[in-house]
Structure 1
């Protein structure tokens, strides 16, 4: 049995994707900072018959992130699918003219050092399996810079570049890397961007392995 590892576990999209991949037969590793939240999510998944375990880590602390993924892989089974979708902090989203050089340190660590650390941690296991999927979930500023949220615009652009390079470099090894852009808010009543709809979309990206960048809905003009 292989593992679906979710970085940025939460009660919305995180829980929905964990449930979707868990229902497909994968064990689930939930990674987030808050242990109480992790306990609640694992209990919710267990009620649905899904084997899940929480691992506390902060994406800004690369040692804790690498350790969590290593422990997940050794205790639950090798990570076949990695989803990187933590929610950026509010202080990353300042107007461009109010953003100084130091203000970019945390967003870039969040969106570049975190993904690099995570991928490096799971890649040996994927290579041993002979297959794997890495899923990045980003807001619209990853595809269209927004001067009102400069930190995430800069950091998501860097994350997108890294993910695209991974897509090209790892495809010959049967490891599919893809990005899902969600332009609007994730809401239960959203036609294209509800947690359940997005979870199904991410599962389809994993199984169909078609292309790098996907959109939950078109970007508004």
Structure 2
């Protein structure tokens, strides 16, 4: 969503090509970026469903509009995905008529309908109360169990421990510690991570 000012972005071994430096840096090949984007789907903290569309229309929009896929084929896939996340009966309703947990599951179905190579989650549970949060966690865990590639930004340590096979702990924009969840949560090495885990466990 933003152009990075330094570093590299690689997708399946392919590096994004850049032009310029610092604040003036931008992708050298917009077609390359557009192609990579169609292989990535994002689920946002606040759902970001289109309020004027039904749930089914929300899920179908990108494959039909961006990928130019057949309407009937996409509709069948969208309905199957809504069933998969447990809201198949909500296909004809509007987002405002659903709970936060249902909206987030609709957002996950929408992301999956693009058949992406990887899913990106931005704080997927932070806007939900604990009961609704578990609905979403169950769906994400089921996706992890399928072997789907996912990158999840979260402050929810239970979610990170339950669904991840590799955890990266960031502090002030830098990698403080990383590794499998068992070692990271069971025997953290950095003092900052120890403090963070202690604070979250006592909260």
| TM-score for both structures, normalised by structure 2 | 0.36
Choose between structure 1 and 2: higher helix proportion.
Answer: 1
Determine which structure has more spread, i.e. the larger CA radius of gyration.
2
Greater relative contact order (Cα < 8 A, sep 6+): 1
